[in-house]
Each structure stands twice: as C-alpha cells, then as structure tokens.
Chain A
Amino acid sequence: MKKLIPLFILICGLFSCQEVITIDLNSVSPKVVIEGHVDNYPGPYLIKLSTTTNYFGAAGFNPLSGATVIISDNAGHAETLHESSPGNYMTSTLVGTIGNTYTLSVTSSGKVYTSISTMPDTVSIDSISSAYRPGTPRNGNIGSYSVTLSFTDPTALGNYYGFRLYRNGILLNDLVDNRVISDKLINGNAQHVRLRNSEMLFGDSVRVDLVCFDKNSYDFYNTLQGTLTAGGPFSAPSANPVTNISNGGLGSFGAYAYRKRTIQLP
C-alpha cells in the first residue's frame, strides 16, 4: 500500500508547499524507554534504557542509569545485566535458543516494567543478488545499488519478518528502516525483497539479515513506522507504537531468530 502514497503526493505536490513553524508544546514527566533483544547468535545481548525528553529540547539518547535489568527464560536461566556504559546494559552468560520464552524485567525508581517474547524458528535465505542503477554522472550522482533477498515463507501461518542491512560490517539499516512483513497475504509464497541504500558502493561487502520475530514485535515495528510518518495527510492519525512492555514503558523487547548472507558488490 505504501506504493500508493507517492501518487497521492503527486497531486498535492502540484499545489502544496511546506514551511517550518513554531508550536508551543506541553511537557510531561519522563517515561522509560526500552530497546533491546535476545537472538539465536551468541551474546552478549544489549538492552538500552533511556527516558523521554521534551519534544523541542535537545534530541538524542537520554540514558537511564542505575536500573535493575533481569532477563530470564523458561529453561531456568536468569541473569542480572551489568551497566557497561550509561544506559547500556549487557548480558554475560545468556545464550539465546530458538523456541525459548524470554522475560525482561526492568526496575527503576520503584517501578517495574516487564516484557515477554518467544523466539521463533529461523527461515532460510534462498538467495541474494544485487543490481546497479546508473545515476547521472554530470550531477555528481554515481548511481546506486540495491540488494534483493529471496526466501520462501513456510506453509504454516504466523511468520513475521524484518530485515537488516550491513555495509562492510557496519549496520546501515536496522529493523525500523525496512518495512516489516506479515505472512497474512503472502503465506507460503516465495518473496523477493529489495533493499536499497545509496551508501552502498561497488566493491562493498554487504550483509543481509532475515530476522524472524513474534507478532508483538511485528506490531511494534509496523506501528512504529506509522508513528515516524504520522501527521502527513495520507498517514494514520498520530499515535504511539503498540508496545509489549508493561506499566507504561515505551519501546520494545523481543526474541529474534535470524539468518545472514553476505554478497560482494561487483
């Protein structure tokens, strides 16, 4: 459906204009934000804690220090994470296992935030390929690469996918930067997902992750993408993403299972 948006914008673009304006916004007491996951590769796993700041204040990560962070699973393992730097809490011994259910518990200023997630099975990558689209050199545009990831959705319903893109070992696109997919409409079919990033250049080593997660994580990323584009004429009304964190906490915690594949751009 996203493809429709440009065509709507086409007509508005015929007339409309934009300008930056000033608006007075109220401030609210800070909320706790959780960002982190456990996955099927060896740890340590990172849980980032922060708090919200005023909308028109200085943007950026506002770390939450001194919280008690515990991850436990249904196999009897429980671990208290240590704060390696302000707001960054790391595991030491936890090993993510497909099929296990993980519970995150964060205690800060006397409030407890919990979140539960079960790690699904991985789905294998059939192939990846790259394509080069030439640019117009006289405008200084040297063209760009896209990478197409192919996989086959299993016949059982209830698979949810996200994608990550790395260039020479550095994360270019995280899960929020690519549209997440539910198999509701595509169940059992082969899929070809094109991932684009203008920073990819010839000779680069590009890694693609096919990340599987549960419905809560899908709902979070799906609605987060809505939140990031809210306010436009053709977007949904402004709302917070749907979170699986209790007690008014923001953000998301999930157990992800992924497979990766690397390609050398010609």
Chain B
Amino acid sequence: MKLIRFLAFSFFLLGPLLLSAQQKFTISGIVKDSATGETVIGASIAIPEAKTGTTTNAYGFFSITLPQGKYNIEISFVGRRPKTFSIDLQKNEKLTVELSDESVALQGVEILATKRDNNVTSTTMSTDHLDMQTIKAIPVLFGETDILKTITLLPGVMSAGEGNTGFYVRGGGSDQNLILLDDATVYNASHLLGFFSVFNADAVKDMNLIKGGIPADYGGRLASVLDVHMNEGNEKKYTVKGGIGLIASRLTIEGPIVKDRGSFLISGRRTYADVFLHLFGSSAAIRSSSLYFYDLNVKANYKVTEKDRLFLSGYFGRDVFGASGLFGINWGNATGTLRWNHIFNDKLFLNTSAIVSDYQYTINITAGSSNFAINSGVRDYSLKEAFEYYPNDKNKIKFGLQSIYHVFTPGTLSTNGTRLINDLNIDQKYALEDAVYVSDEITITPKLTIVAGLRYVLYDQLGPGKVFHYDSTGAITDTTVYKKPTVIQQYGSLEPRISARYVLNKVSSLKASYTRTSQFIQLLSNTTASTPTDLWVPSSNVIKPQLCDQYALGYFRNLKDNMFETSVEVYYKDMQNQIDYKPGANIVLNPVVESQLYFGKGRSYGAEFLIRKNVGKFTGWVAYTLSRTERQFQYINNDSWYPAKQDRTHDISTVLMYNAGKKWSFGAVWVYATGNAVTFPVAQYQFQGHTVSYYSDRNGYRMPAYHRLDLSATWKRPKRKHFEGEWDFSVYNVYDRHNAYSIQFQQDPNNPAQTQAVKTWLFGVIPSVTYNFKF
C-alpha cells in the first residue's frame, strides 16, 4: 500500500511536469458584440480546467497558450450573456466569439448570476471600469449623460466642484489626469466652462480609470489615466440613434462600410441655450449674444486582411461664447487618430497609432474703433508603437515606444483698427517626449501574479526660442536666445511600475503596487472656475518635471457568490516639483510666466472603501474615501505643510439603480464631500476708503460641506418594429441644497461700514427631461 501511495504521490508531483512536456497550442481571437459587431474590451476568457484565463485588449483581441487537451472556455462580460463552449486543443485555434446583450437574449427571464470574480482575480488594482449601461442609468445635471461626472462617484475620485468636469484622483490636481480619447490626449475636457464634458455618451464605447498601479504603457501625467474608447460603428446594419434634451440634442448614425469587414460612426451634439437667449433675453446685448457648443465624433474602421485592421477616429468640438460687437471667445479640442492593428501571429499583436491633438482658444475684444485678438493653444503630434506578446500561459508581455512632439502657443495678441495696444507674440515653445516601456504579467503560481514594468522617458525642451534665467525673487538675470531647434534642457525619468496579486482563497485577494510617474507639461490656472484661458506650459530650465511615487495596498473580497464586491485600498503618494502661484500672479499673455510661480512638494494618503452590487434588480454601490492631501512651499505658510485645495477629508458617493422590469428603471445618487480648503480673511483694514481683507494662512479654512441627492426615472417604450424610444426624467439636487460655489467677503453694499460674507451657489433643484431614440 505504501508503495502505491508513494507512486501516486510521485505521479501527482510529476504530473504537471509530464503535462508541460506535452505540446502546447495557442487559442487567439476576437470577442465581439453579436448585435453590432463592436469589439468587446476587457471581456474575460476563463479556462477552469487549466485554472487560468485572460482578458481581451483594447481591440477585443486575446491570446492564451495551453498544453494540448480538452478545455471548457468561458467568455463573459458585464451586461452580456456569457458563452461557454468546449474545445479539443490539437492545433493553434483562431476564434471569433460573439456575445449577445443580456437583456435582449433573456428578456423577462431571471438572469443567473455569472461568476464575476474579476475584481478579485485580476492583477489590476486601483482601476475602475464603468460600462456605458451603468453610466447611462445614473441621473445627471440636465439629463446630459456625462462620463466625467460619473467617475467622480468612484472611490478616490473627487469632483473639482459643481459645474466643473475637472476631477481629482487621490489628491492629484485636475491637470494631472491623462485623458485619452482613442489614444489622443484631450487637453480641455470641458464645455461651457465645465458644465459639460467633451465626451458625447452616444459615441463612447468604454472607459477605464486607473488611479494607481498605472501600467508601463501609460505615462505623462502624475495622478491617473482616463482611457476612453469611441464606438467603432455597427458593422452589421445601419442604425440611427439620438436624443433630445433641454440643453442639447444628439444624433448618431452608424453602419457597415462593408458588412462584417468595416464600419463607420458619426455622432454630433449641439446645445441650444443661445436660442432661448435670443428669444427671451432681457436686453439687446443678451439677445445678440451667442452661447453654445457643438462636437462631432467620427470613426471608421476597416479589416484590410484577417490580420490587419485600420481605424480612423476624430473628434472636433468648439465652444462659442460672446456678444456681438463687444467680445467673443471660442475654444475647443480637435483630435485625430490613425491606427493600424496587425496580428503577426497568434502570439504577437501590434498597434501602431499616429495621433494629432490640438487645443486652441481665441478671444476677440472690440473697444471703440479698435479690436484685438488673443490666440493661445497647444498641439501634439505623436506616434505610438505598442506590442503585446503572449509567449506562454505564464507571461503576458507588453512593450513599445511613444514619441510626442508638443508645440505650445503661449499667446499672441494681434490688433487692428486704431492701435492702442502693440502686437505681442510670445515665442512658441517646443518639447519632445520620448518613451520606451516594457512590462510582463508573470503568473508565478496560480495564487501569485506579478506585473513588473519599467518605463523610461526622455524629455527635451527644444529651441528655437528665448530662455530666461531668474534670480530667487523672480527677476530676470539673463536671457539666452536659441535660433535653431537644439536641445535647451533635457530631463530623463526612469519609472518602475510594479504590482502584485495574491489570491487568499476563492473569494478574496490581496494586491499591492508601486508606481512612479512623471509629468512634463502643466496647466497654469489662476481662478476658481476652469476657464478656457488656463495655460499649458512645458517643463523648462525653470519648471522642473513633476514626479510622483505612489504606494498602494488593497484587499478585495466578494460576498454571497459574487453578488457583492467589496474592497479596501490604502495609498500613499509623494509628489515633487508641484506648482503654486505668487500673489497676484499674471498668467495670461505673460512672456515670463515662469517668474509667477512657486515650486514645492506634495503628499497625499488615504483609504478607499467600496461595496458594490452588480447583479439583481437592485444594483449600485457605496464608496467612501478618507484622505488627506497637503503641500509644502517655501514661501507659503512659512514652509509648513498646508492642505491643498483638493484636500477632502470625507467623500461619500452612493449610487442606487433599480430595474423595475421591461418598462421602468430608476436611479438615485447621493454625494457628500468635505468642503474645499480655502483662504478666508482674518482681519480688515482701510485703504483709500475701501475695506481691504487681510489674509494669513493659505487654505486655513473650509468651504461648507457639499451634499446633494439626484433622482431619475426612465420609461422605455416597448419596441415597435425597429424603433426604440425612451423618456428620461431626472431631478438634480432634489432637496435644493444651496452648495457654496464660492464665498466672497465684501463691504455690505447697503451699509459700507459693515462687512459680510456672500455665498454664490449655482444650481438649486433642476428637473429635466430627455427623449432618446434608436432605429
């Protein structure tokens, strides 16, 4: 008996070795949506027999290598009906798997809870993925679905304020988020001074927000990556969908170029607040003013061969704002991306992108017989080569390179008519950002997986141009003129990106990560609201690149057969070369803008708690973040640590959605956040008859806490022929909380001997209705 036991034991030990001696084959393929042919990003491919799995990449591609044998393959994705099939792996297999919509396939049938333990088993941490179905179900201001507003409901992500699409991730500033639309950087993600984001929900397929453990293939910003992918267009049939809302209307047309081979999508949106202004404006000046934005998303793709696919995508948006004969301002982004997916073989995938990204603003002012125009902006040209290599079932390797050429136009002022002002041309600034990266997701044991990555960035500030040298007070000591495109200043940054996951048991895991990030361009903004005149400037001899080291640790646990997802993450961040402004700093049309800045350091730490329910009639989540963000600057608050503007002690987001059947669904959002750190006066004095505030410590006070409840109801009209209609009713700020947007201290206009604090709030209760259709 002992002998048999020994043999059995030996066999058990050697078994895997014997198996691995077997020949191996690769299963690769594409996962698509059955109705539209859109590729599915992040679909999970699980092979229970091999206790392994993978996920599809940004183009729906996957590859997994296994020993020959019989396997069950389970393919699943949130909101899609999972598919399971068996395969007898005797050769390399190429698959195209189509997943159908859960609601379409199983209408009226109780949906079985699929094994969605991805949050526990995946190696990614500090990453939030929201599908468009969820985003569309959440009530929003004026009924305009907005992904930038929705992500602020996630743990560790905070809204930069009401009527502001800016967001703060783990204590980072709103310019420290890398916002990508089909690989192209979006420099100003807001419309209408931040009330709306540039992302038209009808054109967006998918978004991923990475707060920590940032993979080596992303770089250029300190705090986070928001990676947004546009829809590719229906490659099966032509469809038209749209929406009519109080503020804006949308229309999207998509369809095949050649069936199952290529498709296109055109999606447009325009607001019409200006129409009301013209009709109901109280004065001629208001009636003649313009106030609108529009944007256009275009995308086309074509499968040239089974191994090559081309994508062309573009975004164009403009805001126009002005009163005729007085002033006008228009600004906007334009991006264009040409991508080529090439599958070398079932193990090597390449994506090549050529990208142009542009942000410009123009201000026209007419004063009497003269008028002048201010232009400013930033334009990027970039090239990206991204390889994905799947050598075996233990390694998933990514490597590549990226090169970005930045052209900054800090400002030109041109005049015509009577000359009151001289033309001013601040030199354009040039910079080149080159990066190489490699990362490997290594499965060490089925329980332990490590992603080891390294990114190296070489940054060059390039000529031609004038370079100023300053003394400690900010006065110019010397000027160097570069006539040729030579390197003025060079910085290198080596960035380790390491994360690890250890599975504790079937329902829980531990994850840890260390990330170093750098940032070579920064946004100078000197006002509370985000205005289009905020200025992007590159690192230079004066502005050192920003650096950040982030350490994060997380515990993930699913409850009740994955019905509930819970997680706790803690993080610590150390930030170098942060920027603040001297008192009275002038950043518009200033050739020596660098003299207006202070440099210091920052730190941020916190804990994020999330409980989320993904299945059943009731879904939603509660996210709570406890955090602190501080800065230290030599000339501010006597070099002691002080709370940054984005410091929020408590931040709670609650999202509830209830699906009441075929026709009705409901949503509710409640948010609570500690007020921003602000500077209030501590004393007053008289000067030339005015009462002047005296300030002591920077950010020594808090705005009142922010909280708000929003509700929504959606009524879906039963489908008739091919026509689907849907009414969305929503109420923003249900209990009419007057959340402070700003607080101004001033002399009482009715009694100049007294001072008062005046709160401005933006939105009381705002009901809205939107009609959406699709045919």
Binding site for B on A (CB under 8 A): 1, 3-4, 7-8, 10-12, 14-23, 25-28, 30-31, 33, 35, 50-62, 174-177, 185-192, 219, 222-224, 226-228, 230-242, 250-252
Contacts and interface: CB of A to CB of B under 8 A. Distances in A.
B687 A59 contact: no
Nearest to A222: B584
A31 B693 CA distance: 12
B693 A227 contact: yes
A238 B694 CA distance: 9
Nearest to B326: A3
A239 to B, nearest CB: 4
B329 A233 contact: no
A174 B528 contact: no
A23 B687 contact: no
Contact of B753 (A4, A19, A58, A251): A58
Nearest to A52: B683
Given A25-B680, A28-B682, A228-B692, A223 B756 contact: no
A185 B695 contact: no
B684 A242 contact: no
B589 A31 contact: no
B744 A232 contact: yes
B286 interface: yes
Nearest to B681: A55
A1 B88 CA distance: 72
B366 to A, nearest CB: 9
B597 to A, nearest CB: 13
Interface in B419-450: 419-422, 424
Contacts of B701: 23, 25
Q: Closest 8 A-B residue pairs measured CB to CB?
A: A223-B584, A231-B744, A239-B583, A52-B683, A174-B688, A238-B679, A233-B529, A33-B685
A19 B759 contact: yes
B583 A241 contact: yes
B762 interface: yes
Which among B322, B421, B683, B689 has the highest number of chain A CB atoms within 10 Å? B683
A191 B368 CA distance: 12
A223 B583 contact: yes
Given A19-B761, A191-B420, 8 more contacts: A4-B327, A11-B291, A16-B761, A31-B694, A54-B683, A59-B684, A185-B421, A186-B421
A251 B740 CA distance: 31
A250 B681 CA distance: 14
Interface string B279-300: 0000000100101000000000
B413 interface: yes
Contact of A52 (B322, B680, B684, B690): B684
Nearest to B419: A189
A118 to B, nearest CB: 17
Contacts of A192: 368, 420
29 contacts: A4-B363, A4-B365, A7-B289, A7-B329, A16-B741, A16-B760, A16-B761, A18-B760, A20-B757, A21-B740, A21-B759, A35-B686, A52-B684, A52-B685, A60-B686, A174-B688, A177-B688, A189-B419, A191-B420, A192-B420, A231-B742, A231-B743, A231-B745, A232-B744, A233-B527, A236-B527, A238-B681, A250-B685, A251-B685
* B678, B693, B758, B764: residue with the most chain A Cβ atoms closer than 10 Å: B693
B599 interface: no
B593 to A, nearest CB: 13
Interface of B: 192-193, 273, 286, 289, 291, 321-323, 326-327, 329, 363, 365, 367-368, 413, 419-422, 424, 526-529, 531, 533, 581, 583-585, 588-589, 678-696, 700-701, 738, 740-747, 752-764
A177 B756 CA distance: 20
A228 B690 CA distance: 8
A242 to B, nearest CB: 6
B759 A55 contact: no
A175 B689 CA distance: 11
Contacts of A236: 526-527, 581, 584-585
Contact of B682 (A20, A27, A227, A234): A27
Contact of B420 (A186, A223, A250): A186
A224 B589 CA distance: 20
Contacts of B421: 185-186, 189
Q: Which among B526, B742, B762 has the highest number of chain A CB atoms within 10 Å? A: B742
Nearest to B585: A236
Contacts of B742: 231-233
A21 B700 CA distance: 18
B684 A233 contact: no
Contacts of A252: 687
A242 B764 CA distance: 38
A7 B529 CA distance: 13
A51 to B, nearest CB: 7
A234 B273 CA distance: 22
Contacts of B365: 3-4
A11 B277 CA distance: 11
A11 B323 CA distance: 12
Chain B CB count within 10 A is highest, among A53, A187, A252, for A53
A81 B684 CA distance: 26
Contacts of B762: 12, 15-16
A61 B689 CA distance: 9
A36 B740 CA distance: 38
A16 B742 CA distance: 11
A151 B56 CA distance: 70
A10 B289 contact: yes
B194 to A, nearest CB: 10
Contacts of A228: 690, 692
Contacts of A226: 584
Interface hub of A21, A23, A30 (most chain B Cβ within 10 A): A23
Contact of B193 (A8, A57, A190): A8
Contacts of A56: 755
A250 B741 CA distance: 30
B688 A18 contact: no
Contact of A175 (B420, B529, B679, B688): B688
Contacts of A176: 687-688, 690
A224 B753 contact: no
A80 to B, nearest CB: 24
A28 B528 CA distance: 26
A27 to B, nearest CB: 7
Nearest to A194: B368
Contacts of B289: 7, 10
